[in-house]
Amino acid sequence: MALNNNDILKKLRVALKMRDDDIVEVLALVDFRISKGEIGNFCRSEDHPKFVKLKDQVLRNFLNGLIIYKRGPREDKRPKNQNPDKNK
C-alpha cells in the first residue's frame, strides 16, 4: 500500500505531536496561508464527506516550513559581497 500526501501529513502530525495550530504556524513560515479547518479536512478519512486530497504544493511547503520550524532559518555562508561567478 502506497502512502499518499494525506497519509504523510497525518503520520508526521502524530510523530511530531503537532496540532492544527502548529501546522498553520509551520506553513506561515514559508508564507503559505491556510486555515485550521482546511488542515482538519486533510486529516479526515477518505470516506468522510469533507475529506480533501492534499496537493503536492501544500505538502512541499509544509516540509520546507518544518525545516525552518525545527532548525531555524538558513544562514548564508558566503560573504554578502562575494560573487560566485567571479571565482571561475
Q: What is the mean pLDDT of each run of 10 residues along the chain (88 residues)?
A: 91 95 95 94 94 96 94 74 61
Total structural domains within the chain: 1
In a domain? residue 40: yes
Q: What pLDDT score does 74 carry?
A: 76
> Whole-angstrom Cα distance, residue 48 to residue 14?
20
84-to-35, 55, 73, 88 alpha-carbon distances in Å: 40, 35, 22, 8
In a domain? residue 43: yes
Residue 50 is part of which domain span? 19-71
List, for residues 32-57, the tens digit of each pLDDT value. Answer: 999 999 999 999 999 999 999 999 99
Q: What pLDDT score does 81 carry?
A: 66
The answer to whether 58 and 34 are in contact (CB under 8 A) is yes
In a domain? residue 14: no
In a domain? residue 63: yes
In a domain? residue 12: no
Q: What pLDDT score does 72 carry?
A: 83
In a domain? residue 61: yes
In a domain? residue 2: no
